[in-house]
């Protein structure tokens, strides 16, 4: 077996995960729970993970909640069931801890849309601007950022900046446009986007609204403006979840990655949820990066403590300042 592990480790960079066979009779949930205790590990999972992973995680949340957990956990190992930038953020907040990601190729189309070297040139054109970056970006981009934000705290972050201070907002142009509309600030926007949130069809959503006239249409601010304009509620992933609990509606059309619907159904037995349809016949409203993580990969990464997220010290030291500033503003706002 050691030869197989050695080969899998050698192929880790190319494959992204430990390509080892897992006994199909193994009770993966029981094994993962055993490993959590043995390794003093905590599993942080995003709402967009498959339901099995959500059910075994110690904490399920959106980017802000996951960042807060990564900063405060006393576990020795953080296992991040999410995408690469989330695990990088955890490493920056807890550099002394081992941070594992089940599949290194669980990337992010939005983070990829803003390469740090290209953004650095863009930033040079606006020397008097400060940079606010959505946390869905690479660790290197965070080194070029003054304050990070999430969709939960974005308005609070923008409102905390003096009105006469010009701002560059990166990388999500749709979230940026929504913030311009909500805050009245004239920001310079980087033209990046999330493949999942750009795929929703106005025509198909309208037909779904007609088919379910009692349903509330709720959307994430990463969606395009023509989708947000017809929404009954726009908010972060956690805000959408809260709205389904607290509002008087019993039916919801949900325009974000459909992984969140698992938590919505658990929190709201008896209520109905319909994923907003994409503008073609594929399942493009599912994030292919989030779905790269599986129970098998989660088990293997905990068993062998690989793949591990490692970052240069200068990236951690310089980049974490933008996250710390975000967490300070969020705490002051009671988030």
Dig out the tokens for 275 from the structure.
Answer: 């994923």
pLDDT (tens digit per residue) in 29-58: 999 999 999 999 999 998 888 889 999 999
CATH 3.20.20.60 fits 1-107+289-310, yes or no: no
The pLDDT of residue 198: 60
What's the full length of the chain, in residues?
335
- Asked whether the whole model's pTM tops 0.85, one would answer no
pLDDT score recorded for residue 288: 66
**Model confidence at 313, in pLDDT bands (50, 70, 90)?**
very high
Any idea which architecture 110-194+316-333 has in CATH? Answer: 3-Layer(aba) Sandwich (3.40)
| pLDDT on residue 2 | 80
Find the helix or strand (DSSP H, E) in which 215 lies: none
Strand extents, DSSP E, the chain: 41-46, 59-61, 77-81, 98-100, 130-134, 147-149, 167-170, 188-189, 216-219, 233-234, 251-255, 272-275
Tell me the two tokens of residue 298: 């989660």
Confirm or deny that 221 is annotated as ligand binding.
Answer: yes
Instruction: For 202-275, give the CATH class.
Output: alpha beta
Q: What is the pLDDT of residue 312?
A: 95
pLDDT in the model for residue 273: 95
Over 50: is that where the pLDDT of 64 sits?
A: yes
Residue 160 above 70 pLDDT? Answer: yes
Mean predicted confidence (pLDDT) in 238-252: 95
pLDDT at 192: 87
Scanning the structure block, which residue is given the tokens 């979840």? Answer: 241
202 pLDDT more than 90:
no
- Quote the tokens at residue 13: 């960079």
Report the distance separating Cα 245 and Cα 243, nearest Å. 5
Does the annotation list 194 as a binding residue?
yes
- pLDDT, residue 126, reads 97
pLDDT of res. 252: 96
The answer to whether residues 224 and 260 touch, using CB atoms and an 8 Å cutoff, is no
- What percentage of the chain has pLDDT greater than the value 90? 64
Q: What is the mean pLDDT of the chain?
A: 90
Q: Is 151 annotated as a binding residue?
A: yes
CA distance 194 to 4: 37
* Residue 201 pLDDT level (bands cut at 50, 70, 90): low
Mean pLDDT of 230-255: 94
279 is in an annotated binding site: no
**Is 287 labelled as part of a ligand binding site?**
yes
Would the annotation count 237 as a binding residue? yes
The confidence score (pLDDT) of residue 282 equals: 43
Q: Is 222 annotated as a binding residue?
A: yes
63 is in an annotated binding site: yes
Convert the pLDDT of each residue in 127-143 to its tens digit. Answer: 999 999 999 899 999 99
Which sequence spans correspond to the domains of the chain? 1-107+289-310, 110-194+316-333, 202-275
DSSP alpha helix (H) spans, 138-294: 139-142, 154-159, 173-183, 202-211, 225-228, 237-246, 260-267
What span, in angstroms and rounded, lies between the C-alpha atoms of 106 and 85? Answer: 9
CA atoms of 23 and 31, how far apart (whole Å): 12
Is there a common fold for 1-107+289-310 and 202-275?
yes
Q: How much is the pLDDT for 110?
A: 81
Query: 136: annotated binding-site residue?
Result: yes
Q: Which of 160, 171, 168, 183 lies closest to 327 in space, CA to CA? A: 160
């Amino acid at each position: 077996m050691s030869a197989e592990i050695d080969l899998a480790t050698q192929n880790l960079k190319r494959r992204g995960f430990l390509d080892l066979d897992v006994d199909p009779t193994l009770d993966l949930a029981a094994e993962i729970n055993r490993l959590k205790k043995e390794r003093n590990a905590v599993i942080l999972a995003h709402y967009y993970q498959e339901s099995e992973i959500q059910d075994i995680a110690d904490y399920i949340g959106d980017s802000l909640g996951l960042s807060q957990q990564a900063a405060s956990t006393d576990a020795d190992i953080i296992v991040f069931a999410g995408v690469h930038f989330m695990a990088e953020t955890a490493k920056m907040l807890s550099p002394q801890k081992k941070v594992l990601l089940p599949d290194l190729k669980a990337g992010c189309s939005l983070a990829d849309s803003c390469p740090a070297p290209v953004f650095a040139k863009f930033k040079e054109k606006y020397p008097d601007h400060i940079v606010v970056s959505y946390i869905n970006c690479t660790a290197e981009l965070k080194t070029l950022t003054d304050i990070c934000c999430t969709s939960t705290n974005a308005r609070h972050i923008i409102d905390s900046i003096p009105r006469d201070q010009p701002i560059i907002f990166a990388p999500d142009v749709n979230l940026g446009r929504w913030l311009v509309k909500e805050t009245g600030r004239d920001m310079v926007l980087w033209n990046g986007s999330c493949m999942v949130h750009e795929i929703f069809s106005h025509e198909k959503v309208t037909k779904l609204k007609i088919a379910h006239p009692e349903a509330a249409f709720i959307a994430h601010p990463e969606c395009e403006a023509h989708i947000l304009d017809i929404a009954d509620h726009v908010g972060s992933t956690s805000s959408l979840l809260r709205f389904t609990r607290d509002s008087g509606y019993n039916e919801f059309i949900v325009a974000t990655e459909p992984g969140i619907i698992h938590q919505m159904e658990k929190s709201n037995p008896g209520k109905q949820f319909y994923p907003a349809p994409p503008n073609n016949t594929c399942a493009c409203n599912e994030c292919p990066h989030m779905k790269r993580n599986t129970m098998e990969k989660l088990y293997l990464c905990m068993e062998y403590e690989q793949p591990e997220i490692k970052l240069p010290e200068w990236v951690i030291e310089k980049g974490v300042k933008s996250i710390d500033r975000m967490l300070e503003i969020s705490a002051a706002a009671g988030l």
